[in-house]
């Protein structure tokens, strides 16, 4: 614990009360276990999962009142070598002993969970997290930009599940939200792909054109002769569309947890002998995400279009739902 902090100090945490309602609560600084660290949260991103959890009549599981799993902060209590350093949080928590974990397939852990969903997260001025979930990040990286390490690591893990791609080729990304933009950025910058992003929002399309070389088209406007080797469904509900767009022998990468597909898609899938790859989170790719951010390959400006003080979390969620922009980041300090 730093000299500036005492056990009597309180801090602000935003509690989710259900039905899209948030309440600022003053809490005392919690105890820090031997395998834990306390961080002063500098920035916490809003994720599509957060929007699902707080949607009306949502059945998405959330076991904590303090959400937020895209976190950057500075360590104020914990191992000496980390105190004072800026870090990002890999929020995934697994048991490490079940059969999938023993195979290194941590995303399929029978007790899979996340900081900010199953345990208190970063929509607060301070957060206590397992020390082994912390990764140092350069002081040169803006804290808001650092929060994209979590979604970027998920994109990198999804890409790692693909079979070998051709040396050069084409890709279509369905959905130009934060995840879709990160997929497009990785594909064109790290894989040298020619990319088309399909996005109905004019606001998002304009932003994408300012940041990426990718062509942006409206739904249904992918040229028939584009013939992508890879189609990424970054929405979670456009599998049927991905099947129509993919070239014969192509690859479909599914990302997102919404319903989609259907019988006609299944028939086309079989006739075209496509390959589908699915991914749900990050697995061993967080350090690579940090590296790409530190090197400037992926930048905060690629996806972050608004920041809000933590106290204005309601306005932040409204902005994130509006589709006028992409990633929204909350700033406690």
Mind listing the pLDDT tens digit for each residue in 64-94? 999 999 999 999 999 999 999 999 999 999 9
Specify the range with the lowest mean pLDDT, choosing from 27-41, 45-59, 281-295.
45-59
Residues pairing with 15 in the sheet? 23
Q: Looking at domain 10-148+303-331, does it have CATH number 3.40.366.10?
A: no
Pick from 124, 107, 110: which is nearest to 65 by CA?
A: 124
Task: Please give the pLDDT value at position 57.
Answer: 78
Task: Please give the pLDDT value at position 5.
Answer: 55
Region 91-103 average pLDDT: 95
Region 304-322 average pLDDT: 95
Secondary structure (3-state) at 43: strand
Q: Would you say residue 256 has pLDDT above 90?
A: no
| Max CA separation in the chain (angstroms) | 67
Token match 């929060």: residue? 147
Could you give the residue range(s) of every CATH 3.90.180.10 domain in the chain?
A: 10-148+303-331
Could you give the residue range(s) of every CATH 3.40.50.720 domain in the chain?
A: 154-279
| Cβ–Cβ < 8 Å for 121, 147 | no
Mind listing the pLDDT tens digit for each residue in 125-183? 999 999 999 999 999 999 999 999 999 999 999 999 898 887 779 999 999 999 999 99
Residue 287, both tokens = 């350090």
**pLDDT band with cut points at 50, 70 and 90 for residue 210:** very high
| Cβ–Cβ < 8 Å for 115, 91 | yes
Residues pairing with 126 in the sheet? 40
Alpha helices in 171-285 (DSSP H): 178-190, 202-211, 239-245, 263-271
In 149-214, where do the E strands start and end? 169-174, 193-198
CATH topology for the 154-279 domain = Rossmann fold (3.40.50)
- Phi/psi for 193 (5° steps) reads -95, 155
Q: Would you say residue 16 has pLDDT above 70?
A: yes
What's the predicted TM-score (pTM) here?
0.88
- Return the exposure string of 298-314: e unless at least 16 CB atoms fall within 10 Å of the residue's CB, then b: bbbebbbbbbbebeebe
| Cβ–Cβ < 8 Å for 137, 66 | no
Task: Please give the pLDDT value at position 212.
Answer: 97
């Amino acid at each position: 614990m730093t000299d500036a902090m005492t056990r009597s100090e309180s801090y602000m945490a935003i509690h989710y009360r259900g039905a899209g309602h948030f309440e600022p609560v003053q809490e005392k600084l919690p105890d820090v276990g031997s395998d834990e660290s306390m961080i002063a949260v500098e920035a916490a991103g809003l994720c599509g999962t957060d929007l699902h959890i707080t949607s009306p009549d949502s059945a998405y599981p959330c076991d904590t009142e303090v959400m937020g799993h895209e976190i950057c902060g500075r360590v104020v209590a914990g191992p000496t070598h980390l105190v004072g350093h800026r870090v990002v949080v890999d929020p995934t928590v697994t048991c490490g002993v079940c059969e999938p974990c023993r195979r290194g397939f941590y995303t399929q852990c029978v007790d899979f969970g996340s900081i900010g969903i199953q345990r208190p997260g970063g929509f607060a001025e301070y957060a206590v997290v397992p020390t082994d979930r912390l990764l140092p990040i350069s002081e040169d990286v803006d804290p808001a930009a650092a929060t994209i390490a979590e979604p970027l690591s998920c994109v990198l893990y999804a890409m790692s599940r693909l079979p070998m791609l051709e040396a050069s080729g084409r890709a279509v990304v369905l959905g130009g939200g934060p995840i879709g933009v990160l997929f497009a950025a990785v594909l064109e910058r790290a894989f040298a792909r020619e990319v088309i992003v399909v996005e109905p929002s004019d606001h998002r399309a304009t932003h994408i054109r300012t940041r990426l070389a990718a062509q942006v088209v409206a739904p249904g406007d992918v040229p028939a002769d584009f013939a992508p080797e890879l189609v990424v469904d970054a929405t979670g509900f456009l599998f049927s569309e991905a099947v129509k767009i993919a070239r014969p022998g192509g690859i479909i990468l599914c990302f997102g947890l919404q319903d989609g597909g259907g019988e006609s898609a299944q028939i086309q899938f079989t006739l075209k002998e496509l390959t589908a790859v699915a991914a749900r989170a990050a697995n061993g790719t967080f350090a690579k995400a940090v590296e790409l951010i530190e090197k400037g390959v992926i930048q905060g400006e690629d996806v972050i279009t608004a920041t809000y003080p933590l106290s204005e979390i309601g306005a932040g969620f409204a902005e994130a739902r509006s589709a006028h922009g992409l990633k929204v980041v909350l700033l406690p300090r």
